Amino acid sequence: MFQSNSKFRSNLKIAFVLVLFTMVTVTPSPSANAKEPRAGGTLIYPAPYGGAVGTLDPANTTRTQDYIIINAINEGLVQIDPETLKTEPSLATDWEVSSDGLKYTFHLKEGVTFHNGEKFTAQDVRYTFERIMDPKEASLATNLLTPVEGAQAFNEGEADSITGIEVLGQYELRITLNQRASYFLYNLASPNLAIVSRQAVEKWGDEYGSHPVGTGPFYFEQWRRGSFIEVKRFDNYHVEGLPYLDKIRFRVMPETSARVASFRGEDLDFDIVGVSMYQTYKNSPKYKDLLHEGAELYTREITFNLSVEKLRDKRVRQAFNYAIDKKLVVQKLLSGKAYPATGWFPNSLSAFNPDLKGYEYEPGKAKELMEEAGYGEDNRLKLKIIGTNNSAWGIPVVEAITPFLEKVGFDIEPVLVDGSTLASKQSEGDFEAAIWSLGGTVSPVRYIKNYFYSEVPRSAGRFSAYESAEFDKYLETAMEATAVEERIEALQKAEKVIVEDAPVWFFNYNKAVGIRQPWVHGTVSNAREMAFQPFAQIWIDEGSPRS
């Protein structure tokens, strides 16, 4: 039986930087031990990605922008410790896994209430998971539960319930899988599988995403569209002494310049550091000790839509990869705030292959491949690439790489869109190529499966419409493997197939950097996503601007 040595992280845990690999240079933050954590105050926190927040319904989003706020309101059965990247208890106190790896028996925490006063029980877990798989809901998170026995049949309308979810008692639940899935606990830690209140969902219907109710440390208070979302301390939170803050105001701030001005003007308590300010903060005596820095679980890339005829030729996609000096782009355009990618897995994941040979800068080879595919000076390949205005993974990058591509036979047309449009166009297949940042999951199986496995719907992440029987075979071996070594070997073979087929341009693995104000304590370096902070454990100094 799994039994956590610390079921919930200590209230006194302080901010420090997680060193994922010795190659990652980090700057430690000052110790918060000098003062005791205190209750009170307001945290002003950015929602920095891709424009407006879309929804606060965990079941119906794939956007980091939404997850940031969802994580303050909701909880799942398990969670990921940002410092160790291991699963740990949340609404489940512990669990047992059968010897065949198919049955997970969860023991749930008693005395937990939803923000509306409802008592949390095993029935709420069942309701949440069946809601996600209900075809009428059209959830974007169905792929997380497909390993559960009977989930697919329920989703296809062939069953009235999910047979693999059994309520054994008020605080005991068994989940049976249809096959071994080494990543299943990581799935359960996804923000998409946060437990929701049935009463609230039925009350608000299609408007639930604007009136969320969870069990988390903060409850939803108000939403001023395009401006901010405010959450307040939940006084009946089930972890004694937490949260410290009275409230958090999440300000929608996609513009880097606006965030920088607000942070330096002390109107913002934390910020995600972009390329433009990275070296400035790093070399500043005032700010350098307030940085969190580390490898993040995100791969920056350009997705090719393989439903588009001209992109079905592998030689075109390979030529695109060979044509660009991405090391130079990272150094000059991104000020070194990234690691050039060789494949899909970043160097912070266990499946990262240091021996993988990716695409080096070989413009001659790129031109040769284009000519073999029928393109040249008299017949250039026109390609529209959509993206946001993000300086690190948006249209500015497309503009920077265009000269490289033009030399080998491409005509590139950058198309600027907002974050919501980018997401919807990719989900619907309404694009030729799109630049974005993908990842965010700790499980290396899911990290690659979500975007390339043939059974994942395009709307759930397989934006390229890529299909490969060879890739699927290796991935399925990894999904069923019980030994870590076997799983990693299969994943690395699957990644090699992806690199060869090149359904994306492999650009870089992000070096995530966050910065806090000196009066803010409890923030950490989070490899999943620097904006995912342990909000319940953050506290601010008495006498600070926000106390």
Query: What is the reported pTM?
Result: 0.73
Domains of the chain plus CATH, in order, are 42-251+517-540 (3.40.190.10), 296-510 (3.10.105.10)
* pLDDT tens-digit readout, 233-270: 999 999 999 999 999 999 999 999 999 999 999 999 99
- Residue 124: both structure tokens together: 């709420």
The confidence score (pLDDT) of residue 350 equals: 84
In single-letter form, the type of residue at position 469 comes to A
> What does the block give as tokens for 440?
């965010």
Q: What's the rounded Cα separation, in Å, for the pair 320 and 11?
A: 50
C-alpha–C-alpha distance, residues 478 and 494, integer Å: 9
- Per-residue CA distances from 510 to 65, 350, 477, 492 (Å): 17, 16, 28, 20
Q: What residue has token string 């740990």?
A: 88
Strand ordering across the sheet containing 172-176? 92-97, 103-108, 172-176, 165-169
**β-pairing verdict for 270-272 and 247-252:** unpaired
Residue 34: what pLDDT? 53
- Structure confidence at residue 349 (pLDDT): 86
**Digit-coded pLDDT (tens) for 43-98:** 999 999 978 999 999 999 989 999 999 999 999 999 998 877 788 999 999 999 99
Give the β-pairing of 92-97 and 410-416: unpaired
Distances (CA, A) of 142 to 56, 79, 334, 355, 456: 17, 19, 36, 34, 9
Q: Which residue has the tokens 């409230």?
A: 247
Q: List alpha helices for 134-255, DSSP H.
A: 151-155, 184-188, 198-204
| Largest Cα span, the chain | 72
All residues at 6 or more sequence positions from 202 whose CB lies less than 8 Å from its CB, including other chains: none
Bridge partner list, 45: 250
The residue among 299, 308, 265, 118 whose CA lies nearest residue 196 is 118
Q: What is the pLDDT of residue 7?
A: 33
- Write the DSSP string, 120-142: P-HHHHHHHHHHHH-TTT--TTG
Does the pLDDT of residue 498 top 60, yes or no? yes
Residue 346: DSSP 8-state: -
Instruction: Tell me: pLDDT of 321 over 70.
Output: yes
Sign of CA dihedral 525, 527, 531, 535: negative
Q: Return the pLDDT at 417.
A: 97
- Render pLDDT for 327-352 as a digit per residue (tens, 0 to 9): 999 999 999 899 999 999 998 888 99
Residue 464: closest CA among 344, 323, 341, 327 = 344
Highest mean pLDDT: which of 7-11, 194-198, 338-342? 194-198
Token readout for 236 is 């009946």
